[in-house]
Each structure stands twice: as C-alpha cells, then as structure tokens.
Chains A and B, each alone.
Chain A
Amino acid sequence: MQEQPEQFTFDFHKEKAEIVRQSGDELSIKMGDFAGPLDLLLYLIKQERADIFDIPIARITQRYLEFIKLMKRLDIAVAADFLVMAATLIEIKSKMLLPRDPSLPVEEEFEDPRQELVNQLLEYEKFKSAAGMLHERATIEQAIYTRGRIETDEANEEVDATVFDLLTVFQKIAERHKDKVQMEIEREEISLSDMIKDLKRRLLTDGEVSLLRIFEEMSNKRELVTAFIAVLEIVRTEHVRLMQASTFGDIILKKVEQPA
C-alpha cells in the first residue's frame, strides 16, 4: 500500500524546521525547538494568519492537537505543560459552543472565554521579543574580547612551595607519628630506589600526589625519611611541580607536561 507522504513544515525563528514523514520506514525529523505551549500556539496562530484578538479557537485547537499527536507519534516526549494547554483550549472551545445563559441580564457584559488566553499570549509575546533582543545583544557581545585574567598570587593557587614548606609538612607528620602508640612489627624495609619508583608510578597514573597522604601512609620514621628524600629526588630529576594552595596546607606533587 502506497502511503501518502505527510509533510509538516514549521518556520521557527527564521530557521526552517520541518517534520517530514516519508513513506515506509524512512522518517526524517527536522524540528524547531518550541520554547513552550504558548510559543507553539503563537506559531499556529501566525501560520493560520489569524487575528490574535479573535482566535479561531476550533481550528487552532485542532491544529494544536494534531501537533501533539505528531510529537507522540514521533516518540517525542510531550511535556506536561503542552497537555495542560491542550486541555485549556478544549475547555475554551466547549465554552464557546455553549449557548449564552438566558437568565443572565442582557446588560451584563459578555465575557469572551478566550480573553484570559489572549492576555496570556500577549504578555508572553512581549517576553519572547525581549528574549530575541537579548539573543542579539549576546551575539554582538561575542565579537568583543576583553583582557584575560592577570595572574596574581591571589588568583593563582599554584603558589610555588619551597623546601621549607616541604619540611613543615614533614615535621607535622613526624609529630603526629610520635604521638601514636605503635606496636613494633617486623617489616621489610623499603629502599630509596623502590620508594622513588613507587612515587613515580603513582604520579604517572594519577597525575598528582598529595604529600600529606604519602607521608601519612608511612608506618615509621625511617620510611618517612625515605619518602621525604624520594620526593626531593623526584623534584630534582623529574618534570614535576610542587603546589600549595594555602600556607601550611597540603602540598601537591604534580606532573608537568613536558614540552614536545
């Protein structure tokens, strides 16, 4: 069976957005992103060349529902707010079909069921234009460049740590170790070269290593000293950088990308 190709074309923000349903399995979707139900409604009113103050509610409701159905058919999740608007449109439509209550006094002004929606649309339209204006401003601003941030000690947390800062951290840990009641357990000594190897491996995998953590991992003073010397050795021989975010804070050993 030859299926009739359906074609819906939506013009939105000058970008032509369209939903083209072709026969068979082939389906191509190009769709403008409607910012909300009011946006869609305004679009439909414009497309129908209808007067916003005299919305042909039956026709617009039908078109609106068609669109929602289409979205569903295309498996596009229909936001709840779009459904709320559908309900509102149907309600207005039914209200307009009802004959006027004859018991009401003749002089009483007839309230158009569409009035609230019209007010809402007019209000929304203003902000939609304002959004367009902001968009234009932002586009113009993107052609203007200002100076980048100047590096100051305050702005840059990569304050170089000195050997003295290193010593302070070391001392702090050593101090803490002293306080701990320790059980002496025989343990294999770690050689300096093993320690350096281990540190390098960690630097390579993690990119950076917290010295506070390294030192804390050491179980006795001897290891601590070995670790300390290993850090000094790595700083001397490798492309690394010592960083300290705050005075007396933790020191981070960071690998520096080598120039090609």
Chain B
Amino acid sequence: MSEESEALEEVAQEEADPAEVVEPRPARSPGELVSIVEALIFVADEPISTKMLADVLVEPRDAITAAVEQLQADYLERGAGLQVREVAGGWQLATRTELHEDVRAFLKTRPSAKLSIASLETLAVIAYKQPVTVPEILEIRGVQSATSIKTLLDKRLIVAKGRKEAVGRPIQYGTSKEFLIQFGLKDLTELPSIEDFEDLTQGL
C-alpha cells in the first residue's frame, strides 16, 4: 500500500517536472541501437511499430528503421533461427519457416484447426468489402453466414465497426489487428486486389 502511493508520487513528480523528460542522455552508437531495438522487439507481446520504438527510445524514426534493417541483415547473414518480420504495422521476432518441424516437435503441437471453407469465404468478403453488413455478405456468398461470423468474432479475426445508416441500422464488420497478425500481413493494402482474382479465375 505504502509502496504503491510512493510510486504514484514518483510518477506525479516526473510529470510535474518536464526538465526530467528531456534530460539529455548519452548518444547511442548505431550498434547499440540495433541491440536495444532487438531487445524491445523480443519483449513486446505484439508487433511493435517503428513509431513506438522511436517514441520509447527518443530516437528519430529513420534511425530506428536503419537499426531494424541492420538487425534483419544480421539475422539473415548468420542464417539465424529467428527472423524479424513486419506484421500488422509493427516488427515481430519469429522463428524461421523452414524450422517448423523441429519447433513443432519441441512444442508438441500440430497445426491448429483451420477455418472452414465457409468461414474463410466470409472472412474474404469482410476483408475486401469492409465495413460490410450481414445482408451484403449474404448477397455475395448466396448463403447465410451467421455461424461463420460468430466463429470469426470468437477468433477475434473480425470486429464490429459501427452501424450502417440504413434500414434497421445493421452492424458493420471489418477485420481486426489479430487478422493481420494471424495472416502475416503488414496491412490491408498487402492483400492482392480482388480484381486480380478475376483475371485468375477467367484464365482457368
């Protein structure tokens, strides 16, 4: 209890004294910055953005970008078991794809249950048409998608994104950050354009 209130006072003091925030700190060498960036990407629970790294470390963004690129190059050069990936607008440390068999053997896991075809289709419609309502999904898929939508919501791949200003004010759905993470996407623009699929299907 007393410890807590002390901690609170400290925070209050820090906020009250702006001089402390901008206190100059010894400059980091580029090599040091690479190490620090690596450590932060490692401890972050979710992909950590360049902006967040820049803010926390009080470094210019391009210095962070250079450090991340250096880190990626280092990993690649020594054929490391890890890679630095860009996912959901941030950086993430992950095992290399080629090592999946050994990793899986150690973790004693199997590829987890995949989404059904119906759920994947629903997810595709939502990803490309967002924000989109249930009737709009029905129109494209030609089938009720209630179960799929529930599955996708449970898996936190989609989220409700407000209501449409139309009769009945139906809920609109869109994809979540979790969707980007699980499908290894930097952002939504990384998805191939839906018209590309038209060419693909026509070609067959």
Chain A residues at the B interface, C-beta cutoff of 8 Å: 13, 33, 35-39, 79-81, 85, 120, 122-135, 137-147, 149-150, 155
Majority SS of interface residues in chain A?
helix
| A146 pairs with B94, CB closer than 8 A | yes
Known A134-B124, A134-B127, A143-B97; judge A123-B140 contact (CB<8 A).
Answer: yes
Give bound CA distance, A33 to B148, whole Å. 14
Specify which chain A residues have a CB less than 8 angstroms from the CB of B92 in the assembled complex. Answer: 146
- Please measure, in the bound complex, the distance between the C-alpha atom of A140 and the C-alpha atom of B98, giving whole angstroms: 10
Enumerate 24 A-B pairs (CB-CB under 8 Å) in ascending A order: A33-B118, A35-B118, A36-B142, A39-B117, A125-B201, A127-B121, A127-B125, A127-B140, A127-B194, A128-B121, A134-B123, A135-B114, A138-B183, A139-B114, A141-B182, A141-B184, A142-B111, A144-B85, A144-B184, A145-B103, A146-B92, A146-B94, A147-B42, A147-B93
Q: Which residues of B contact A33 (CB under 8 A)?
A: 116-118
A149 B45 Cβ-Cβ under 8 A = yes
Contact B107 A131, beta carbon cutoff 8 Å: no
Q: Which residues of B contact A133 (CB under 8 A)?
A: 124, 192, 197
CA distance A79 to B95 in the complex (A): 43
Q: Does B142 lie within 8 Å of A131, measured CB to CB?
A: no
> Known contacts A35-B143, A140-B97, A147-B93: does B183 contact A131 (CB below 8 Å)?
no
Query: Interface extent on B, as a size class?
Result: 35 or more
Q: Which residue of B lies closest to A164 (CB)?
A: B1
Inter-chain contacts of B194 with A (CB < 8 A): 126-127, 130
Interface string of B163-204 (1 = CB under 8 A from A): 000000000000000000011110000011011011011000
Whether the Cβ atoms of B197 and A150 lie closer than 8 Å is no
Q: A137-B183, A142-B112 are in contact. Are A38 and B197 (CB under 8 A)?
A: no
Interface: B108 (CB within 8 A)? no
- Please give the residue numbers on chain B whose beta carbons come within 8 Å of chain A beta carbons, in ascending order: 42-43, 45, 85, 92-97, 100, 103, 107, 111-112, 114-118, 120-121, 123-125, 127-128, 140-144, 182-185, 191-192, 194-195, 197-198, 200-201
How many angstroms from the CA of A128 to the CA of B21 in the assembled complex? 53
- A134 and B43 contact, CB distance less than 8 A: no
Structural contact, A37 and B94, CB atoms closer than 8 A = no
Beyond contacts A126-B197, A127-B125, A133-B124: 7 other A-B pairs, Cβ-Cβ < 8 A, are A35-B116, A38-B143, A85-B142, A126-B201, A139-B111, A142-B111, A144-B85
A38's nearest neighbour on chain B, judged by CB, is B142
Among B114, B128, B143, contact of A37 (Cβ-Cβ < 8 Å)? B143
Closest CB in chain B relative to A176 CB, distance in Å? 21
> With A124-B142, A142-B112, A150-B43 known to touch, is A131 a contact of B93 (CB < 8 Å)?
no
Shortest CB-to-CB span from B176 to chain A, Å, is 14
A164–B100 Cα distance when bound, in Å, is: 48
B123 touches A131 (CB 8 A): yes
Residues of A within 8 A of B120 (CB): 131-132, 134-135
Closest partner residue, chain B, to A150 (CB atom): B43
Of the candidates B95, B97, B143, B195, the one whose C-beta lies within 8 Å of that of A81 is: B143
Q: What distance in Å separates the Cβ of A71 from its nearest Cβ neighbour in chain B?
A: 14
| A residues less than 8 Å from B95 (CB atoms) | 144-146
A residues near B114, Cβ cutoff 8 Å: 135, 138-139
Contacts of B123 in A (CB 8 A): 131, 134
Quick one: closest A residue to B198, CB to CB?
A: A126
In the complex formed, the residue of B with least CB distance to A133 is: B192
Give the shortest distance, in Å, between B182 (CB) and chain A (any CB): 6
Tell me whether A13 and B184 are in contact in the complex, defined as CB-CB below 8 angstroms, given that A129-B200, A130-B124, A131-B123 are known contacts.
no
Q: What CA separation (Å) do A132 and B123 show in the bound complex?
A: 11
**Closest approach, in angstroms, between the C-beta of B117 and any C-beta of chain A?**
5
Asked if B124 contacts A127 (CB within 8 A), the reply is yes
CB B13 to nearest CB in A, in angstroms, measures 22
Most chain-B Cβ atoms within 10 A of its Cβ — which of A81, A120, A131, A141?
A: A131
